[in-house]
Amino acid sequence: MPSMDAIIFIIWRIYTNSNMNEATNVHQGFLVDKFSWFYLFGDSGFVIFSTYLMFSKYGKIKLGRPDMKPFLFYVILRDF
């Protein structure tokens, strides 16, 4: 089921004569100007937290059955 935001956006686009490109550029400009710091700190925090988990005792936790061999790493290497 689509989200209410998507439904409102589609209805707005169908029933208005406004320039959608202009409206979205205004909104994107506002978000980039006001919240780029939030994205930067959130992204950096995620990288730092992931690195901490990788080198802590939690980095040794095996996901899956004990007898399974890791396969995701090899799939990623193959796809690149």
Spatial distance between the Cα atoms of 80 and 78, rounded to a whole number of angstroms: 6
Residue that wins the pLDDT comparison between 30 and 78: 30
Can you say whether the dihedral through the CA atoms of 31, 32, 34, 36 is positive or negative?
A: positive
What's the pLDDT band for 9 if we cut at 50, 70, 90? confident
Q: Where are the alpha helices (DSSP H) in the chain?
A: 4-15, 20-55, 72-79
Residues with Cβ within 8 Å of residue 68, at least 6 apart in sequence: 62
- The domain limits of the chain are 4-79
58-68 pLDDT per residue, tens: 888 777 788 87
Spatial distance between the Cα atoms of 32 and 25, rounded to a whole number of angstroms: 10
